[in-house]
Amino acid sequence: MIGVAVLGATGTIGVNTLDVIRRHTGEYQIIALTAHSQYERLAKQCEEFNPDYAVLVSEEAADKLEKLLKQKGINTRVLHGADALEQVARLKEVDVVMAAIVGAAGLQSTLAAAQAGKRILLANKESLVMSGKLFMDQVRDNDATLLPIDSEHNAIFQCMSDDYAQGLDKIGVNKILLTGSGGPFRELPMAEFSKVTPEQAIAHPNWSMGKKISVDSATMMNKGLELIEACWLFATDLSKIKVVLHPQSIVHSMVEYVDGSILAQLGQPDMRTPIAHGLAWPRRIESGVSMLDLISMPDLQFAEPDMQRYPCLGLAREAMKTGGTATTILNAANEIAVQAFLDKKLNFTGIAKTVEFVLEQITARTADTIETVVSEDGHARIVAVDYIEKITMQAGAVH
Ligand code: NAD
Ligand code: MG
């Protein structure tokens, strides 16, 4: 049996992971499930999967979970607090850690999984964006296995020769073609961007996802974070990666080789495919995803992204060029701005403005320790909050 810890079990990726595992209960055993505070959903998951541990960050929610589990006669041990996330990621019974917490909150537990030499299924791209080199060093030094779950990176991984760690030039890769749908506002007149509501922004045309990544997809910051993620995962730089708009989300990304071949991975826009791939790699298992019907498929289109429409994509590119903690700052400012937008304290165009402002205010440093990364993340959050307060006050009424 393969022992699995699902960090962020109640989220979109967590729920999809459990759906794949449900189909293979003889092979995978859930050791730990974690969530922030959704104790009722976690209780249901404990009832079905009977893990050894359940973790909630909120102590109050953990107390409620404990009571619920007791009533149902389930003997899962309940822990609480952020440290407990790291604790379960390191358990010796755990072989695979699904890192599916959203945002910077996932950094320490994902790093703990790397330090403990686990197979990490990486959905939490923010942890890699925040601490790229440090994270990759921990993976290498502790013989951890890092498998990308982000659909694009999983597609690239599937299209890449096994020995890509030698360098992309050595294996004849000309370019990585990173596809993105362009989100729900690909054709919206730009003059209307400032009026866009959170409800419109989280209604992604092709994928069903958590709120934060849905807003990131609408601004294309998601593609910016993915550019950075791809640089670290495939040991390459921005010059080797081209972002391609592909509104149908059927081709999940491609690798172009020097001989003129382009390898692509196609499939339904359903995260259970990359999750099943990560769980079973190098084998293949059934994921519950229906087969693509090529005959009745819509035409596949590809286009250049319009950088005016998606300023966040340009900001991410610049931050990666600057290097060091610039990507930590980018990520932190974006998380604050997206939350402010979801709380209706900032308009949609304010997200890119906030990130740009914070990047201008803070001079990036070398990201040589995790303490530096964490303190830079905190600093950038304070600068972002101040900026949002200031522009909100200047604008008067907020919509
Ligand atoms: P989600 O919002 O649906 O779920 C987030 C999970 O993290 C929940 O279980 C929540 O309880 C937990 N969580 C939130 N804040 C926390 C905190 N402070 N401490 C501990 N746990 C916390 O998000 P999602 O869409 O499942 O995305 C999860 C991650 O996967 C993100 O990094 C996202 O970028 C990445 N990802 C998601 C998709 C997708 O299709 N949803 C695709 C690619 C990558
Ligand atoms: Mg993606």
Statement: residue 307 has pLDDT above 60: yes
86 CB near ligand 1 (under 6 Å): no
For position 250, what pLDDT does the model report?
97
Statement: residue 343 has pLDDT above 70: yes
Q: Give the contacts of 187 (CB within 8 A, at least 6 positions apart).
A: none
Residue owning the nearest CA to atom 16 of ligand 1: 36
Give the separation between CA 115 and CA 139, rounded to whole angstroms: 7
For residues 382 and 354, is the Cβ–Cβ distance under 8 A?
Answer: no
What is the CA 184 to chain-centroid distance, rounded?
Answer: 19
Q: What is the mean pLDDT of residues 29-40?
A: 98
CATH of the domain spanning 2-148: 3.40.50.720
Atom of ligand 1 nearest to the CA of 125: 32
Residue ranges of alpha helices (H) inside 116-182 are 125-141, 151-159
Give the ligand whose atoms come closest to the C-alpha of residue 61: 1
For position 263, what pLDDT does the model report?
98
Q: What is the mean pLDDT of residues 24-33?
A: 98
Q: What is the mean pLDDT of residues 86-107?
A: 98
Q: What is the mean pLDDT of residues 250-268?
A: 98
> pTM score, two decimals?
0.97
Distance 122 CA to ligand 1 centre (A): 11
The per-residue pLDDT for range 209-253, each reduced to its tens digit, is 999 999 999 999 999 999 999 999 999 999 999 999 999 999 999
Residue owning the nearest CA to atom 25 of ligand 1: 210
**Sequence letter at residue 369:** T
CATH of the domain spanning 323-398: 1.10.1740.10
For position 397, what pLDDT does the model report?
45
Statement: residue 399 has pLDDT above 50: no
Statement: residue 19 has pLDDT above 90: yes
Residue owning the nearest CA to atom 41 of ligand 1: 209
Q: Domain extents for the chain?
A: 2-148, 156-269, 323-398
Taken in order 178, 316, 121, 169, the sign of the CA dihedral is positive
Confidence of residue 396 (pLDDT cuts 50, 70, 90): low
For position 18, what pLDDT does the model report?
99
For residues 328 and 63, is the Cβ–Cβ distance under 8 A?
Answer: no
**Helix (H, G, I), strand (E, B), or coil: what is residue 21?**
helix
Taken in order 8, 9, 12, 13, the sign of the CA dihedral is positive
388 CB near ligand 1 (under 6 Å): no
126 CB near ligand 1 (under 6 Å): yes
